[in-house]
Amino acid sequence: MKLSYLSSLAHPDLRSYFENSGYVIRTFPELCTVSSLVDNHPDVLLCKLGAKPESPIYEGVSDKLSPSYPNNCRYNAACTGKFFIHKLDITDSELLSAAMASCGDELKLVDVRQGYTKCSTVIVDEESIITYDKGIAKPCEMAGINVLLVEPGFVKLRGADTGFIGGASGRVSDEIVFNGDLSAHPSFKEITAFIEARGLGCKWFDSYELEDIGSIITVTDSE
């Protein structure tokens, strides 16, 4: 089985893409424990433990969340399978334990200043990410991760001035899929080149604006 976890705000074109690709779509329910900006964002509660399609998804406990930062992003880590990237002093202990159990003892922890780590990060593969945040980019580069630093902004988030590129994307099999028109982003050429250089495709939808919907989270071969 192939599962896709999507916000209720996901565009019909994105939903059609998954339906036509044989995915079962699970629409993420609204949470009453976080603010309305992110209450239907999967990545406030779900964390995929690796970049591979079969990497498992950890589901947190909604009652541990609250509307204010940083208690609304204790599960918002970026886990590539080789690296666990987050503001480690706020990371939920059970999430970290699950990541270490799933990824093995060689999992490297990377401490960053940004609590909204997954929102801010496109996970390309186990050793490569895309982010606009220099506070994420620098420690990741120091840890040995391949990082593409892109222009900030140019991503819609309903109710806010701007959204995050990580929250507008996700890896789907051998493609990085963006929720909206990536070609309108000023770093478009660099983004597509970085992804394609790693043997992956890049999918976007030019029919609507690039929008942060709390990441596109998928898993295959799940029971």
Q: What is the mean pLDDT of residues 81-96?
A: 98
CA dihedral 105→133→34→38, nearest 10 degrees, is: -110
221 pLDDT tier (thresholds 50, 70, 90): confident
- Structural domains counted in the chain: 1
**H or E element that contains 123:** strand 121-125
3-state secondary structure of 46: strand
pLDDT, tens digit, for every residue of 94-121?
999 999 999 998 999 999 999 999 999 9
218 pLDDT tier (thresholds 50, 70, 90): very high
**Measured in whole angstroms, how far is the alpha carbon of residue 125 from the centre of its chain?**
12
Contact 174, 213 (CB under 8 A): no
Q: What is the mean pLDDT of residues 165-184?
A: 98
Q: What's residue 73's pLDDT?
A: 96
**H or E element that contains 86:** strand 83-86
Whole-angstrom distance, CA of residue 35 vs CA of residue 84? 25
Q: What is the mean pLDDT of residues 22-28?
A: 97
Amino acid at 4: S
Amino acid at 168: A
Domain limits at 32?
A: 2-220
Would the pLDDT of 170 be above 90? yes
Burial of 142 (0-12, 13-18, 19+ CB in 10 A): exposed
45 pLDDT tier (thresholds 50, 70, 90): very high
pLDDT, tens digit, for every residue of 55-68?
999 999 999 999 99
Instruction: Give the CATH number for residue 212.
Output: 3.75.10
How many CB atoms neighbour CB 187 within 10 A? 18
Q: Which residues are CB-contacts of 138 (< 8 A; sequence separation ≥ 6)?
A: none
Residue 214: name the closest of 162, 164, 172, 173 by CA: 164
Q: What is the mean pLDDT of residues 146-163?
A: 96
Q: HSE-up of 126 (CA within 13 Å, CB side)?
A: 11
- Tell whether pTM > 0.95: yes
Would the pLDDT of 147 be above 90? yes
pLDDT, tens digit, for every residue of 70-82?
999 999 999 999 9
Query: What is the chain's mean pLDDT, rounded?
Result: 96
